[in-house]
Amino acid sequence: MDSPPPPTPPPLQQLPFQVLPRRSELSSQNIQFLDQNLVTHQDLLVRAPLLLSDLTKERSNFDAHLLNLRRKLTELAVSWISRSFSAKSSLSKVNFMLENLSLQTSQYGIGSWKVGKVLVEEIPKLAKQVQRIENILKYIDTALQLEALVGDLEDGVFCVGGLHARNLFSEKRQISLKSMDFGPKLERILEAIKTMNNIEEVLVNIKKFQARWHRLLESVDARVDKILVVVRPQVLADHRALLSSLGWPPKLLTPKIDSGDIAGLSYPLVLMQGDKIKCYSQTFLALCSLQHLQRRREDRQHNIIEQRECGIGLWAIDELVSPIASRMEYHFSKWAEQPELIFALVYKITKDFIEGVDDVLQPLIDKARLRSCSAKEAWVSAMVQMLSGFLAKSVFSVHAERYKDKQVRSEVSTSWLHLIDHIVSFDKRMQSLLSSETPFFLEEPKRFEGLSRGLSVLTIFCDRPEWLKIWSTIELKDAWKKIKPVLKDERAWIIDKECDVVVGTESKYFVLSSRGDHKAPIVAESALKIAWEMIERCQTLPSLQHRIRFIRSTSARFFWYFLNGLVLRCKNTDFSLENVDASLIKVCGSINAARYIESKLQEWSDDVNFLEMRIAEKDFDIDGNNEVLGDSCFFGEEIKSLEELMTNWLMEIITALLHHFETLSWEYLQNGRFFVQERDVNLNRVPAVTDLAVSFGIVQALDALKSQLHLGKTSLNPKDFLDLWRSVADALDQFVSRSIFTSGIRFSNEGINQFDSDMQALFHVFQPFCSRPEAFFPSIREILKLLKMSKEEAKLLLVALSKNKNGTKCLHSLGISHLSFDQVDKVLSNRRCRSWS
């Protein structure tokens, strides 16, 4: 049987040659495809229609497959995001993009330039949309997880049959846990707290990594808050009922307490047994867990992501103190005039129960896994806060109101200071109960500040700055009242003779530590003692800023008042020749007091507590002191003012000594008759110094200077006396040399010898203070050297100075460095020797 004939090709006019693209528009893959299938012209006539039919059919299959994929993707996406309107919108956009992708596919092959555009622009957009879908799915997963947790929580807290969780808070349908037995109810509460902790874990992760989901956070927080409104009062009520059944609080022995005899008290919690121990432990753990949860929620809401240590206060221990406080306040109200009994009662109860609290409650705290939480600290803190509340409400508020009345202000100030004395003593005693396990003050300042917020009664002044201001004012007035009579008592200004420091070694001028070393009067020690007492009284103030304000308002200001007292005492002096000794002693005493106080203030400022306060003062710019203090230490301004006082009045002493010397030696230095007498001597040289007596005109001046310097050495501290005699020596050197240059005195050979003898006497005045006093009179020493030159040496020197442009080098070679060329010429021209005539 013959094979069927080949199909007849369609007529040429039916081929769509008119729609074929140009060869230049085809890609290399398209050209290669056509070359493989259409080799000859006959292939174009025979195979072209078949090839077109195959390509069209394949394209239809691809379109159908693409539509099928798109339909499946849509169904899957809708199944996941059926509850999200935003997800539906996103999928609609994806569907629209897929349709565009289908429409934009070239009918001439997959390698067209339009496909490249899709790969560059449309695919990244699609990836972003996919990422958005993933985020939406994460949001839905998290929302569903939270919905399940919150729903379980609501179902666990409220027993409502057949109702959905969203309707749980209708008052008509709400059934509290009060209707249940204690055991199952407590277990349900603990399970609810555990669920809330799990919810908090999820919310913390959202806060860290999905900050834009704040509405979800707010929604969950609102629902959890409604749960806490029910749970916390119920847990507290159950805990209080259990404490009451255990016999808490213990009975206070009223007759003994009223008489001031406070006996030991029993601790009922130690006597618990069996089911009572189990029930109390469960309620205690429930309160601790609830408090820990509350702290975590507050930290998250305030963006405190890192886990903090447990604070001092514990709700469970506060519940122990609350019923005790209600009983104690009855006795407090009767002891308004005897505050020592109030503090004694609180301390006694705290001390008697602290060991029992530690034995019973510390294991429960450890079981609750509360980090760095001490039962002892919490117990002491709760008792202190109880007392602080009573004093603030019933004592200091009354005193603060009465302080406004000037007629009773003195009485209020006395009562206020009396209370502060008891508070300071009480704080130290309470903190001593924890000294075995808690370091205070200098060892760990940060630890101290954190503890003292709950361990100091002075906390009441941190919450009421106006009371702190009243306290500082009362303290300052009391301090000034104490120092005022001491300032007026001349016996307080006497310098102890036993405190004299032997000036021998150089180190003794600078190594000064005690009041005796500084030769400071008793009044300086009294001022420092009063100021330090005020500083110590505020050491338990928990806030560093309030401590700084208190010290600035009391001790620092007190030193300013004391400084003004020193200035007034110095001004009430007369440095005339008749009263110079008494005035010198008086001013030296003030300078010694200022020097001693300045050294102590520097020592205080170097202490770690004051360094910490100065740093805090810079950071917070407390009361705007940064511009005034700059980079100085804590007492920088006070030290600076004390140094100015010492410098100014040391200069006053130097001026007075020089003025007296000038008055007594004026005729000697201006007349010149002491230096012009001639005797028969060898004409070729200046005679050496013989046993000549000191000139009568300078004897009185030298004797007064020696007496005054000796009195200064006895009365002034070594450091300032060192500055004093060196400054006097330098000034005398300039005064005598300037007088020689300006008076026009002409020296004879005998006058040169007499001047040398007089200057040796001047040097001798300073001999007790150094081994080579002439070293401190360089100008006088060089004048003597010039006067003692022979005629030939002097002429050679003058010729050398006139010809040599570098005259300084010539003078230095002769050991003359403090006189100028003109001064050297003046000295040489004033020589009136016969051998020069």
Most confident segment among 93-97, 211-215, 787-791: 211-215
Residue pLDDT, tens place only, 215-241: 888 999 999 999 998 889 988 988 888
Inter-residue contact 193 to 286 (CB < 8 Å): yes
Q: Which helix (H) or strand (E) holds 257?
A: helix 254-258
**CB under 8 Å, gap of 24 or more: what pairs does 332-340 form?**
332/390, 332/394, 333/394, 334/258, 336/394, 336/395, 339/395, 339/418, 339/419, 339/422, 340/422
Residue 708 pLDDT exceeds 70: yes
Residue 26: what are its φ and ψ, rounded to 5°? Answer: -90, 145
Give the residue from 444, 369, 366 showing the smallest Cα distance to 609. 444
Please, what is the average pLDDT of the chain? Answer: 79
Give, as one character, the DSSP assignment of residue 553: I
Least confident span in 88-102, 451-465, 731-745, 788-802: 88-102
SS3 at position 230:
helix
- How far is the C-alpha of 787 from the C-alpha of 700, rounded, in Å? 25
pLDDT in tens, 758-790: 999 999 999 999 999 999 999 999 888 888 887
**What's the pTM value of the predicted model, to 2 decimals?**
0.73
Please write the tens of the pLDDT for every residue from 483-534: 999 999 999 998 765 454 433 334 344 445 678 888 999 999 999 999 999 9
Tokens of 18: 């008119």
Backbone region of residue 274 per phi and psi (left: phi > 0; alpha: psi in -120 to 50; beta: other values): left
The single-letter DSSP state of residue 269 is G
Q: Using an 8 Å Cβ cutoff, are 283 and 186 in contact?
A: yes
**Residue of 589, 560, 557 lying closest to 573 (CA atoms):** 589
Please report the pLDDT score of residue 20 as a whole number: 64
Q: Is residue 433 scored above 70 in pLDDT? A: yes
At residue 747, the 3 state secondary structure works out as: strand
Neighbouring C-beta atoms of residue 658, cutoff 10 Å: 17
Question: Angle, nearest 10°, between helix axes 557-571 and 580-605?
Answer: 160
